[in-house]
Structure 1
Amino acid sequence: MSFLSKNAVQDVHNLKIANRVNLFNLGQKRFLHTITPII
């Protein structure tokens, strides 16, 4: 049972990191998309 809960915590941690990376990538794309027409 402790192994399962440890796994669940790790999964949640990985999800948080993945979400942060996705948000960062999305922000970069949006920033580039906004700045491209100006150049």
Structure 2
Amino acid sequence: MQMIKNWFSLLCYCLFHHFMFVKIIVQFGLLAATPTYLTY
């Protein structure tokens, strides 16, 4: 049971950090795309 709990917490930890990483990439992408929108 302890092993399953550790694996589940590790999975949640990885998913959380993957989500934060994707969020940061999306924010940088929006920042990079903003000047192109402003020029039109």
> Normalised by the size of structure 1, how large is the TM-score?
0.86
Structure 2: runs of 5+ lacking an equivalent: none
Root mean square deviation of aligned Cα: 1.4
> Normalised by the size of structure 2, how large is the TM-score?
0.84
Structure 1: runs of 5+ lacking an equivalent: none
Identity within the alignment, %: 10
4+ runs of 1 displaced by more than 2 Å?
35-39
